[in-house]
Amino acid sequence: MRIEDSLAFRAAVSDPGLGTVLSVEPYDLRSAIEGIDRPVYVVSCHTDRRRTMCDTLPSFILILHNSYVLSLVDNLGAAWLYHLHRDAIDLRPFSTGFAKKFVAEQLYRIAPSSMARILFLETVLAYEPAWRVPLLARDDDVSLRRSSQQLSRLTADFLLHHEIGHTAVRDRRFDPFVSERVHDALGSLGEIQLDDQHRLILREEAEADLFGLNCCFSRYAPGMSERHLREYLDFAARFVIAINLFYAVSDDIHRLNVDGSHGGSSIETAFEIASHRLAIMSAHIESFLLGEDTAPCAPSDEFLGLDDPSMLFDAFMAAGPAMTECTHEDLRHASQIIDLGLQAGGDFDAIIGGYRKTWVLGDDPVATLREDCGTSFLV
């Protein structure tokens, strides 16, 4: 019997936590990576209910290609490209606004609460007009759209190969390019304020990060200039770190304001791990030798540059402490009124769903856009 026909496989891909499953594609890596002893499937889905991106089961591995997360990098990248190359805009709606909206959705998934609903409603009401400008411009601008989609594809591939990297690390042939580099990098970071368990987590995540980066260097170098490839990888790395921190911020806010017994991530530990992961990735992106012996880059390309996105992501991360602060008193009041109505039995999931786009995973796998809610263009 084929694995795809087994009860275990059918149960795994029909898990309600996967949200909308768009496709399930085989991604056979057993001939390329020693240590992968079972078939791998990439599940293209759209869900805000899952944080883990990989399920390892006895007879197969599922890697999630989650368009819920990828839609955020698509929109954030479009805003940054528009700001750099078309018209300078106030970036707060895209740093603070996108961050608050993401955290509000995660708070709601932890446990439906008035805080989660009010934060979501207030954020959408406050920032939606600003979100329209670069996103609509991208739809009509070939150059913006091409660059935004390339950034999204590269980030999707990085996330995919990061998950593969957790298994590939067993293949000792990769040691000189992954494990040994992480060992050297950790030694150069100085004192690390983590216990043994979290030091191990840091090492495992950093090894998977470098495996993912190496795969992206190899895959994208032939079609991108060296400058643009490093810039796009830097953006992807910063984005992935930010998303991981927002999950921890969501846990912390829920614990402090709704349920003191809630477990989840320690915000201090999450920031410590994140800062070291980013430092290791940034150094690797900057120092990776591109050329005939590794991955030769194209002399030029048609993509727009990303320059240094640290300003955007510094603001993105600075939004954390202010996540629950009132954006506008009138909007907070209006959101509270709507929440009172929802407490009587309204469907808040339908409101969230009205601002969603989904993605479809291609065969390679590459993400392509597909409208899921009429004329809505928000994530």
The reported pLDDT for the residue numbered 328 is 79
pLDDT value at 355 more than 60: no
pLDDT band at 203, cuts 50/70/90? very high
In a domain, residue 5? The reply is: no
Find out whether the peptide bond into 176 is cis, omega within 30 degrees of 0: no
Per-chain mean pLDDT for the chain: 85
pLDDT beyond 70 at 370: no
- What's residue 354's pLDDT? 62
- The whole-number average pLDDT for the span 24-34 is 82
Tell me, what's the pLDDT at 35? Answer: 72
Domain assignment present for 198:
yes
Q: Pick left, alpha or beta for residue 239 (phi over 0 → left; psi -120 to 50 → alpha; otherwise beta).
A: alpha
pLDDT in tens, 87-146: 999 888 888 888 899 999 999 999 988 989 999 999 988 988 888 899 889 989 999 999
Residue 367 lies in a domain: no
Evaluate whether residue 54 is within a structural domain. Answer: no
H, E, C per residue of 300-327? CCCCCCCCCCHHHHHHHHHCCCCCCCCC
Q: CA triplet 238, 276, 81: central angle to 5 degrees?
A: 10
The residue-averaged pLDDT of 225-230 equals: 97
The DSSP bridge pattern shows strands 54-56 and 40-46 to be: unpaired
pLDDT of residue 302: 97
Instruction: Tell whether 55 is covered by a domain.
Output: no
For residue 182, is it within any domain? yes
Name the domain count of the chain.
1
Six-digit token string for 4: 């795809």
Confidence of residue 321 (pLDDT cuts 50, 70, 90): low
Whole-model pTM?
0.87
Token output for 40: 């791998």
More confident residue, 368 or 202: 202
- Model confidence band, residue 236 (pLDDT cutoffs 50, 70, 90): very high
- Is the pLDDT score of 26 beyond 50? yes
User: For the chain, where are the alpha helices, taking DSSP H only?
Assistant: 7-13, 67-85, 92-110, 114-140, 142-168, 179-188, 196-220, 226-257, 267-287, 310-318, 329-343, 348-353
Cβ-based neighbours of 3, under 8 Å, separated by 6 or more: 9, 39, 59, 60
Share of the chain above pLDDT 70, in %: 91
pLDDT of residue 189: 77
Mean pLDDT of 253-267: 84
Across 28-49, average pLDDT: 85
For 238, residues 6+ apart whose C-beta sits below 8 A from its C-beta are 278, 309, 310, 313
Phi-psi map region of 190: left, alpha, beta (phi>0 left; psi -120 to 50 alpha): left
For residue 37, pLDDT beyond 60: yes
In a domain, 18, yes or no: no
Please choose, from the candidates 365, 275, 307, 364, the residue with its C-alpha nearest in 3D space to the C-alpha of residue 77.
307
Span 269-289, average pLDDT: 93
pLDDT at 376 over 80: no
Structural domain includes residue 51: no
Q: How confident is the model at residue 360 (pLDDT cuts 50, 70, 90)?
A: very low
The residues pairing with 56 across neighbouring beta strands, listed in sequence order, are 61
- As a whole number, mean pLDDT of residues 300-327 equals 82
Give the residue numbers spanning the domain of 231: 69-354
Burial pattern 73-95, b for ≥16 Cβ within 10 A else e, equals bbbbbbbbbbbbebeeeebebbb
More confidently predicted of 353 and 246: 246
